[in-house]
Structure 1
Amino acid sequence: MGRHSIAAPVKMPGRRFILSIVAAVAVIGLVGSGVFLWVGGYLNPLFAAAEAGCTDPERLDIVADTSIAPALADIAKAYDADSENCVDTKVTAQDSADTAAVLASGASEADAWVPESSVWLDRMNATAASLGQPAPEVDVRLSIASTPVVFAAAATKATELATEPVSWGRVLGGTLPTILPDPEASAASLAGLLALRGHSSPDDPRQFAGAMIELGKTIPASTGAAFGALSATEQPAVVVTTEAQVAAYNLDDPAEPLVAAYPADGTVLLDYPWVQLRPDATPDQGSADRREAATATKAELLDAFEAAVRDATTTLASVGFRAPDGTGELDLDGVGAAPPAATAALDGPTQLEILRAWGVLTLRSRMLAVIDVSGSMEEPAENGLRRIDIFQQAAIGAMQKFSGEVELGVWVFSTARNGDLDYEDLAPIAPLGDAAHMQGIAGIIQSLPARLGGATGLYDTTLAAVQRVRETYDPEKVNSVLLITDGKNEDENGIDLDTLLAELAKIDDPTKPVPVIMIGFGPDTDLAAMQRIAQATKGAAYSASRPEDLSTVLVDALSQRSCRPNCG
């Protein structure tokens, strides 16, 4: 397959903050053994050196992000041929996420690195800290190129998309179908989220959190897979990517070319810094011959190659890169000739903060929804509808917020609902991606008015729900109980609040946390009791009265996973 060929659009686990150390070790092993992924040049460096009359070349090892590595390999080939010195420059193509993980582990022997964004340096240092390693010593120099973040669209659907300007505002509002490659592996996606947050309301943090939840419903396996999905969508959609990636994709002559749509409300630039990995060119590891080769001569050759890269503006522009400051003209299919207005996405700490929030919001959930069907749910709410009608409306909208990978089960509860039990198991916890299961839950929601009756058996039900979720606990997911009620505990034959809290403390297992998220409808809810239950389980308690409130508190409940039980 070509370097930009489309991967099969299958679901895979997202890359998490610390990439698999096993994978990192495998990469290290390849580098250590002298086996490299060649992007250009010769299979054996001695072949190139021999042609130049050089039998013992000085070797320069450059690792570069896959998006820019082919261009750097072409520049390296010309540099080696024109250099007056005996030099062999090898460019290894590697995703920046992988390189950041390898460098954080202290195991790389490359001489220089060109990541797709400076944010990977922050990721590298954060990963090193998490591994108990010191931050790698590097010499970060100015960028050699840049590319703006854009929306990629299928060429055949571009006209339909152009009927309304594309913008971050439309992504926030949910009116522009958007595919976001995993920001944990794509600096373009992470910078896109930075731009998105910049256009969200500072007075309503739920707006940005809600947009991330929506974008996280379907995470493609790669940017290539996201591009492949564009032609298959029923309505026109866009992929958050870069101008250079659009240009490179089209250079491979795909069946469905792409066009870059530039956000009407502005965008951000990705920089490509030159990072010298051994500022003193004297490694403290490796074989004796490598240590001997790490001389001032190597440092000079690296500097000379860096200068050659900076001078090769025509080569970089030919594959879609603009100057480091974002200027420069392009003459490539699918992208604009003139540069768009863009600001540098260099706020590394903010991007890492967004990345942590993304990791929290996109954790796959395993949830047991426990719904109050006591007789008081027949009573009218503020808008004249019955409380159960309000819940039905909100529940249907809330279901649409979850991806098919979310697992959901449903209980209903009221006193003596199921013999001596206050609760009834109507649907097991199973993936919403199962159409039959999804249809079954929708049917349960529609049947709720016919199930009303009895009093509110809150405490017995809460304890049983926590026990059920823990019995079937999945450590790969966020396991929780979502309990919706319009009242307070009315079961005189059941346990009281203090007993419930004592039992919850007794069965608490830090390795299997099951937070209880409690949502109270109407004026009769016992919010104080709900808050004590939420505190005991490191969950959250909310009060809601209108249909739209349920969607709001669900966003709150999801976006506050990382701060419980002390969310502000």
Structure 2
Amino acid sequence: MSELPRGYQGPGDEPITHHGPPGGGAGRVLLAAAIVVLLVAVAGGTTWWMYTRDPARTTNDATAATRAPSASPCPGVKLRVAAAPEIAPVVSAAAKKLDDDPANACDPISVVAEEPGFTVANAAKPDVWIPSSSAWLGIANAGGAAFTAEGKPLAHSPIVLAAPSVVTNTLVKGGRTSWAQLTGAVATGKVAAVTMPDAQISTVGLLSVYGVNAAMARTTPDSGIAQLRALTLRSRLKEATADPAKLMARVAAQWNTNGVVYDVGVFPTTEQQLRTYQRGKNTVRLTGGFPADGQVEADYPFAVAKNNQDIELTAQLRAAITRSSLTKAGFRPAPLPGTLPLPAQPSALLAPATMWSEYKSLSTQVLLLIDASGSMNKKIAAPGGRTTTRAGLLRESGRFAAELFAEDTTVGMWYFGQPTPSSPPHREVVSYGPITAPVDGKPRRDALAKAMKDYRAADNSGTPLYKSVLDAVAEMREKVSPGTVTLVVVLTDGEDGESTYKMTHAQFMQKLAAEQDPSRPVPVLSLGYGPDVDMKALTDMSEATGGKAFPATNPADLSSAIAKAFLAAHAPR
């Protein structure tokens, strides 16, 4: 694949003038510390420029996190500037031009390169701030800062999905790819590794999570399913706090004559960082593409603090950062068409970023309990005005559900129903085991999908619902282990009856309560089908075990219910 089209050329060396106020909003960001390494082009080659934070600062050092971004040894500094690492070299070069005494060891402007999350966390704020997204201004101001952006951003740089060419050749066509395609590729093993930057520290991480969620929202009207699909990618990340510049450094250090790097997969980065790498004389070629289903970009506002005491020097710095210097460094002067607008409220960015960053990597154990009694053959109205049966609606739901289980899921399926008085209350349809393991020579996921496709309810079959739930909970309780979420998912019309195992609701609830073990919880997630479903019975059953009950009126309801249960299990505490 060819390199990304340049698509930008500066008009010259004229300064860019800006006017207007910044956006606002509310939100909170959780921050950590890291080493920031960036790649910049110098004299047509590749040079590694490193800015290292105070090594005493770690994610567990809350006190250090409030320190100033830098402590200059020069008392003559008049203007302190914090800039996103990738644009800091351009800002530093502009600041050097304003030093009226080249022999002076102390420049009047101190430029510190740091990720925006660090600037937000530090108590001492700079006089001028050039973060890599305007979103950070609202986040910082909501926390008590007072920055005002001077008009339009200095520059723009879209987020691209980058990788060695041998990988991107399968994902990128015409400079475009998609988050959905990447998620599918990593889920099926076509992409060996995906890494992401810290969503609570870096703009690339923050906006990438926003892009992923926007892309998945396009695939379904159900927000729970969309979020679960986004977290499908999160659950498969090789690393969730990777630095794209470090990844590029590692790639550049490899001298594989075949141009194949096996330990670096796909990662998001800015177009500017990718272009800088591409301009270097590196053996391993990196290419990338814009994710068209959730296109996001970094922008670089020139923000001035309210307490800035040197407005004249600030204006001179602003004028010294020319359009040509930015385009030469690989930035764009204008947004890329089709870029998603930033949400008005920072919380719309921070909430998914927090969920993403603090996602619990838990294995899931599920026993699906499917009602195969005669009452499931009753006709009901379905979406679109058509008529179907409860069983037909359940078949459609099962098709959706089979796609939702992550690769670390262990699952089995029972049908319950009693066609004759001597029949058992339930039978195993798909054996319990890893979803990736084979069943009769095919992956268990495929076996689940086929079982739901072939599902039929027997006429005149009794409904031993309560007995089957008690047996299922007992079965799964023996499998509870640390680091896992264990569930029983029941799909039924919600009425126990016409079987030799029939019991009253009170009897069932008494037995269910007696078997609860807080040290080995097995929540029951129940889904009721049909207009006359006994939702109270299902709700009582689910709440007694710490689960949830949902009514089902369309095929997506099962997927939505499972999504909500999984999200709750993996959510930050």
Name the TM-score, length of structure 1 as normaliser.
0.60
* Paired positions, count: 479
Mapped partners of 1:496, 1:256: distance in 2: 69
Residue identity in the other structure for 2:321: D
- Matched ranges for 1:83-482 at <5 A: 86-87=106-107, 90-100=110-120, 102-103=121-122, 106=123, 112-123=128-139, 135-142=143-150, 144-152=153-161, 166=176, 181=196, 183-184=199-200, 186-193=205-212, 196=215, 208-209=226-227, 212=230, 215-216=233-234, 218-219=236-237, 221=239, 222=242, 224=244, 242-254=270-282, 255-261=284-290, 263=292, 269-275=297-303, 279-280=306-307, 296=309, 299=310, 303=314, 306-307=317-318, 311-323=321-333, 326=334, 340=337, 342=339, 344-345=341-342, 347=344, 348-352=346-350, 355=353, 364=362, 366-372=364-370, 374=372, 376=374, 395=398, 398-405=401-408, 407-410=409-412, 412=414, 414=416, 432=435, 439=443, 455-463=462-470, 465=472, 479-482=486-489
C-alpha offsets along residues 250-291 of structure 1, whole Å, 9 cap, x if unaligned? 24455223244484x8955533234556x436xxxxxxxxxx
Q: Give the Å deviation of 1:116.
A: 2.0
Aligned residues of 2:157 and 2:331 also touching (Cα < 8 A)? no
State which of 538, 541, 546 in structure 2 corresponds to 1:533: 541
The answer to whether the 8 Å contact 1:194/1:351 transfers is no
1:440 to partner: Cα distance = 5.4
**Structure of higher RCO (CA pairs closer than 8 Å, 6+ residues apart):** 2
Letter in 2 for 1:317: T
Maintained 8 Å contact 1:113/1:276 = yes
Residue 31 (structure 1) shift: 8.9
Partner of 2:30: 18
CA deviations over 1:169-225 (Å, ceiling 9, x no partner):
986998999979465551331452576489678x66578557535544533524739
CA distance in 2, matches of 1:506, 1:276: 64
What is the deviation of 1:558?
1.2
CA contact (8 A) 2:178 2:291 kept: no
Give the C-alpha shift of residue 418 in structure 1.
13
Distance 1:125 1:173, change over 3 A: same
| Contact 1:153–1:259 (CA under 8 A) maintained in structure 2 | yes
CA 259–356 in structure 1, closer or farther in 2 if over 3 Å, else same: closer
> Which letter does structure 1 place at the counterpart of 2:30?
I
* Cα drift, residue 409 of structure 1: 3.3
Q: Quote the residue 2:527 is aligned against.
A: 519
Alpha-carbon spacing, 1:462–1:388, altered in 2? closer, same or farther (3 Å): same
8 Å CA contact 1:197, 1:208 repeated in 2: yes
User: What's the counterpart of residue 69 of structure 1?
Assistant: 88
Q: Return 5+ residue gaps in structure 2 as ranges.
A: 1-27, 34-56, 252-258, 381-385
Q: Deviations over 1:38-84 (max 9, x none)?
A: xxxxxxx77xx7xxxxxx54386544333333443444455557679
Which residue identity does 1:402 align to in structure 2?
Answer: F
Match of 2:53 in 1: none
Q: 1:300 to 1:192 in 2, by over 3 A?
A: same
| Aligned-partner residue type, residue 403 of structure 2 | Q
Instruction: Give the alignment's Cα RMSD to 1 decimal.
Output: 6.0
Contact 1:469 1:481 in 2 (8 A): yes
Q: Distance in 2 between matches of 1:524 and 1:30?
A: 57
Change beyond 3 A, Cα 1:539–1:94? farther
- Residues in 2 aligned to 1:557 and 1:500: alpha-carbon distance in whole angstroms: 24
What's the CA shift for 1:317? 1.8
For residue 167 of structure 1, report the CA deviation from its aligned partner: 7.6
What amino acid sits opposite 2:154 in the alignment? Answer: A
- % identical equivalent positions: 20
Deviates more, 1:384-393 or 1:469-478: 384-393
Q: CA deviation at 1:485?
A: 3.6
Q: Per-residue deviation at 1:404?
A: 2.3
Shift of the alpha carbon at 1:530? 2.4
Measured at CA, do residues 116 and 165 of structure 1 come closer, stay the same or move farther in structure 2, by a change above 3 Å? closer
1:465 deviation in Å?
A: 4.7
Distance 1:162 1:33 in 2: 42
CA spacing shift, 1:421–1:163, aligned 2, 3 Å = closer
**SS of corresponding position for 1:145:** coil
Partner secondary structure for residue 273 of structure 1: coil
User: How far has the Cα of 1:149 moved from its partner?
Assistant: 3.3
CA distance in 1, matches of 2:226, 2:141: 27
Distance 1:226 1:97, change over 3 A: same
Distance 2:313 2:482 in 1: 47
Aligned equivalents of 1:147 and 1:302: distance in 2?
24
Letter in 2 for 1:95: E
* Counterpart secondary structure, 2:404: coil
- Give, in whole Å, the separation in 2 of the partners of 1:32 and 1:271: 26
Amino acid of the structure 2 residue aligned with 1:488: E
Judged with a 3 Å threshold, the aligned counterparts in structure 2 of structure 1 residues 350 and 527 are, in CA distance, closer, same or farther, namely same
* Letter paired with 1:399: A
Cα distance change on mapping 1:75 and 1:509 into 2, 3 Å: farther
Alpha-carbon distance in 1 for matches of 2:222, 2:396: 23
Q: Which has the higher helix share?
A: 1
Shift of 1:399: 3.4
Give 1:345's aligned amino acid: L
Which AA in structure 2 matches 1:23?
A: T
- Per the TM alignment, residue 320 of structure 1 is displaced from its structure 2 partner at its CA by 2.1
